[in-house]
Chain A
Amino acid sequence: MGRSPALELLPGTLDMLILRALARGSMHGYGIAQILKQTSDDVLEVGESSLYPALQRLLLNGWVTAEWGASENNRRARYYTLTAAGRKQLAAERADFERMVAAIQRVLQTA
């Protein structure tokens, strides 16, 4: 049976998903992409071309910090960590998003 293809992310949600992924602990860019892929059962596939600009945006806003460390296969990798401001931002975005989704669902179900 054929697997359904990876979906495009809803605009504006990538930042939130990255923040959520980092809420589990520090990880490098590749790790973030993997986590998003695994936890979404391969639905969400994030490429470099959207992942790294998003990470830079988070750095610029001060929601994450980055530091070099050793990866699992002993290569140098850049690990991102959620900051307090990032945690707050995640909570806010998440609340907004959940309200939005609930609203959309209500419309879809009743209309």
Chain B
Amino acid sequence: MKLLRRLRYWLDNTRHAADLAEEMEFHRAMLTRDGAPPATLGNTTLAGEDARAVWIWPWLESLWQDAVYGLRAMRREPAFTATALAALACAIGVNTGLFTVFNAFALQSWTVRDPASVVTIHRFTRDGGGGFGIAEYRYLTQHSRSLAGLIAMSNGEEVKLGDRPLQLTYVSGNYFRLLGVGLERGRGFLDEEDNPADPQPVVVLSHDTWQNRFGGDPQIVGRVIRLDDVPFTVVGIAPEDFHGTNPLRNEVWAPLPAKLLLRPSDPASLAWLTNPDFCCTPIAGRLAPGVTRAAAEAEVSVLLHQFLAETRVVRDPFRIVMAGTSWIESPRKKRQVIPTLSILFLAVTLVLLLACANVGNLLLARAAARRREIAVRLALGGSRIRLIRQLLVESLLLALTAAAIAFPLGFVASKGLIRRLAGPAWYPLTPDLHVLAYTLAVAVVSCVAFGLAPALHGTSGGIAAALKADAPLGRTRLPLRSILLGVQVAISVVLLVGAGILVRGLARAQNIDPGFDFRNVTVLSVELPARQYTGPRTQVLTANLEAQLDRSPGLPSSALAQGAPLGNATFSTNFQLLTPRRSPMMQIWATQISPAYFDVLRIRFMEGHNFTADDTPPCLVVNQSAAKRWWPGESAVGKSVFAYRKVRQIVGVVADTYTHDLHTSDEPMLYLPITGAQGAPVVLVHDRNSAAVDRVAAMVKQIEPRAQIHAEPLSDNFDRQMEPNLIGAALAGFLGILALGIASVGMAGVFAYVVGRRTREIGVRMALGAESAQIIRLVLGSALRPLAFGLAVGLALSAAVSILLAGLLPGVKSSDPLAYLNVVFLLGLAVALASAVPARRATKVDPVRALRCE
């Protein structure tokens, strides 16, 4: 109770100090009123300090004593301290590491002025979310009153500066001003530079780009640089701590209309900037003072409906949601990422729990050794509460020391993790106050977790019993030790089974059939000098390539496509059903291909036939999912749709394939004849033989000598899709092995303890003629029940965890007997290793000496 009052006082320290000051002033005023001479007033400051000290001093002083005593205890037992610190530091380290990454990527708001008033704006439809058209963005900018301003930012594209790529983001002209990001140098963008009728070649560089690509040139502002060979004037440098507003690497920013300069041949460029029915650009806004998100959502929703009515654009019904700017708040990201994160946090929490059980067990062993000391203190009148506090302070010291080691360790680990996941980090992975607070919290929680039970346990029981010279071990001691050992075993089993399932899932995922032949196909990407390639030249090139591929008899079978399947590029288009009645305009995945595509990739036709390059009316092929979704129970062949700016007839239905990732193959998809209007195509060659592939490359070179051609097996795309599985398996493997290591140390400790406590018994047995094997059985037998118990609980928990895992990664199966068997085997091995040394020591017990001790 006293502690509670003290805590409450500290929590409201300033108010209490003010209260005290005020009442003492009142006292003084009354004294003066009653005519007391000034001499009797005394030193108020000192009196106030004395009064405040009542709350703090005695407590702090005794705490300090405990801490000093605890430090001495830690130094006295270096082996114990080192083991406990190692286990705790590893466990807290992986927690800190994960949180450092989580903090940097998910918790940080944009580094802008007053981030609390900035909201990202999302549109949700039945089919998921999407961004906004630039035209919609401009309309909202003009009419919204609840938002002080809006910005638009495209997810950008890669451009070449010299011969190395640079990630460019298109942003609205007011981007830096509305966000309140003061540029380090330069004037930034002007409003008139955000005009599609008059695009201006200006860019703002990120601080890193300025430093790394221009050597921090102080004269850079005003200079002309060439992006994709297009000259741009540098008009600013972003401050060092500003990393942009999308999760991509943001290296250079240009106004939205600059797309017309960089991608002049793509008709979609102008359409993107002006057409009212385009979509998919992320926008954000700054709330006007005093406006709530809900009010702004309502207004934006009304304005958008107004816009759609004015422009006669039909969209699926939608809902507007505004969210904060940190990644975790983004409603769509949340849904994607939270399951993965939960699993990761669950795993590292398990490791922490394991370490706590381990250290708890060590503490118990130590408490047994310190029983006499504790008993003496109790006998001398120390209160039990005071002793428990003493033991807890020692635990806390241990945990905090471990945290101090773990903090930099976690930082290094997270850097390594990110490098593995995403290459060198472009996001600042600096450990900040959040991370520090998290690490401290983890340390304190773990201290209670591993310290409380042993402290309660160690101080229980009568004084008299403990003081007896060589009291036998209390009967109650073993169950707690067994429980803690069981917990360690159970947790290692869960982590190991998880790792096993992921590793074997990885192997199985390698055998996923994506629905097309990726093993025997080579992808040739054709890169063209962008500047010279304006206008319809890519279309001409595409047409020439298609004709030439058809005509050359010696070449392996090859097809053109906008992008290779499972590559990074995704393409979608507006789409509308025309029969039986007009549907609203929808977005649908669509890829442009030459007719040979299905043959090269060995994709089966379920119905109908292929299109040809010059059908009239224009034709297309849909996948099975599209056919099932819109024409259930009837044939899709022969139906008319509006897609890619034309009315087209469906002539065939092909099997579903995993086109974008290995999770889903059942998304509706259109295949359209390739035009080349969006840029140079890729050539898919059904051959892995480099000589044959070179012949195709030579043919492309012949048609376009300036093209740079890069060949890569299609299986590389498949392997890149495996990356998350690979990382998941590696992480799980790491945690599993860490867990097994900690648990083994724990088991070895228990065995050593058993041998130490039962030396005399072993001596007697040996004196009576027991064999070594019997002694080893005796040692092992002592831990058999907790081992079996931990194994059983662990296997049961694993079954639950594996169901979670199976939903996350392709190829992972929840019931995988082999993974479980491997774990049982590994655990058996660990038990054997952990018991080897103590058991050997047991068989070396000299009966005579053991008995003489008596």
Contact = CB atoms under 8 A, between A and B. Distances in A.
Interface of A: 28-30, 33, 47-49, 51-53, 55-57, 59-62, 66, 68, 71, 73, 75-78
Contact of B5 (A52, A62, A71): A62
B26 A30 contact: yes
Contacts of A53: 47, 50-51, 53-54
B54 A60 contact: yes
Nearest to B6: A60
B19 A78 contact: yes
B469 interface: no
A10 B12 CA distance: 34
Interface stretch (B37-45, B298-306, B340-348, B749-757): B37-45
A57 to B, nearest CB: 5
B784 interface: no
6 contacts: A29-B23, A48-B41, A52-B20, A71-B26, A77-B23, A78-B23
Contacts of B385: none
A60 B46 CA distance: 19
A51 B22 CA distance: 15
A62 B28 CA distance: 26
Interface string B18-42: 0110111011111101000000111
Chain A CB count within 10 A is highest, among B6, B23, B55, for: B23
Contacts of A55: 51
Interface residues of B, number: 31
A96 to B, nearest CB: 20
Contacts of A68: 19
B201 to A, nearest CB: 68
A59 to B, nearest CB: 7
Contacts of B51: 52-53, 55-56
9 nearest A-B residue pairs (beta carbon): A49-B47, A52-B51, A56-B54, A78-B23, A30-B30, A48-B47, A53-B51, A53-B50, A30-B27
Contacts of B28: 48
B48 interface: yes
Contact of A75 (B1, B20, B26, B50): B26
B335 interface: no
Nearest to A71: B26
Contact of A60 (B5, B27, B40): B5
Interface in B273-308: none
B52 interface: yes
A71 B1 CA distance: 31
A60 B1 contact: no
A73 to B, nearest CB: 8
Contacts of A56: 20, 51-52, 54-55
B635 to A, nearest CB: 83
B48 A52 contact: yes
B2 interface: yes
Contacts of B6: 60
A52 B24 contact: yes
Contacts of A75: 26, 29
B88 to A, nearest CB: 35
Contacts of B20: 52, 56
B46 A49 contact: yes
B589 to A, nearest CB: 68
Chain B CB count within 10 A is highest, among A33, A57, A78, for: A78
Contacts of B55: 56, 60
